[in-house]
A and B are shown apart, each in its own frame.
Chain A
């Protein structure tokens, strides 16, 4: 079945450091891929998405590229801020309309 695996957290970085959160997936067909972010005390919100191979999703300085050959969708940001501290979820959607989420990765950015 479809599944998503994320790197375990927490990830702790200093402000302005480079961020990578790894995400790999297993799926049949051609899923769409997503990154959601959850700030403390809130629900999840869409950060970025990509719907086909080689697409790059980007938003708020974050980027992720849909790599079919490596079944990956790694999240990157060149310079993190304290306000980026949150839990990040990788997810995929097949043809059922449901999202399959990874376990989430907590990011802590220190000043």
Chain B
């Protein structure tokens, strides 16, 4: 049963600390998304990659957030330094996108619940 995995599931840290969240997309999926979900803002797209290349990171605060795909099996989202306003649930999703079918189905991971004190 293929699924997207995310680690850690929960993270509590203090303001100013570095946070790294990891995502393993479904094998064979070429597109990976990072979302943030809060009560106030709802679901926001932070960044996404296709074939490991970043396509759009306009939703991400550039000064403290960075997203990378070191290889096809790992995507990372890093916050440095973290702030209390970064507290949220961060979701990774993956999808197999082709030219013929640009949007099929995104598969979401269970999320990382981040609390910054």
Binding site for B on A (CB under 8 A): 32, 34, 41-46, 49, 89, 93, 95-99, 101, 103-104
Binding site for A on B (CB under 8 A): 4, 31, 33, 42-43, 45, 48, 50, 55-56, 91, 93, 95, 97, 102-103, 105-111
A101 touches B42 (CB 8 A): yes
B110 touches A43 (CB 8 A): yes
With A43-B91, A104-B43 known, 17 other A-B pairs at CB within 8 A are: A32-B103, A42-B111, A43-B111, A44-B93, A44-B106, A45-B107, A45-B108, A46-B106, A49-B105, A89-B43, A93-B102, A96-B56, A97-B48, A97-B102, A98-B33, A99-B45, A99-B103
Q: Of the candidates B56, B107, B108, which one forms a contact with A98 in the assembled complex, judged by CB atoms under 8 Å apart?
A: B56
Name the residue in A42, A97, A104 with the highest tally of chain B Cβ atoms < 10 Å from its Cβ: A97
- List residues of chain A with CB within 8 A of the CB of B42: 101, 103-104
- List residues of chain B with CB within 8 A of the CB of A46: 105-106
- List residues of chain B with CB within 8 A of the CB of A41: 110
- List residues of chain A with CB within 8 A of the CB of B107: 45
- List residues of chain A with CB within 8 A of the CB of B91: 43-44
| Complexed CA–CA distance, A97 and B4 (Å) | 19
Contact A43 to B109, CB < 8 A, known contacts A89-B43, A98-B48: yes
**A to B CB contacts below 8 Å, 15 in the list:** A42-B111, A43-B108, A43-B109, A43-B110, A43-B111, A44-B43, A44-B106, A46-B106, A93-B102, A97-B31, A97-B103, A98-B48, A99-B45, A99-B106, A101-B43
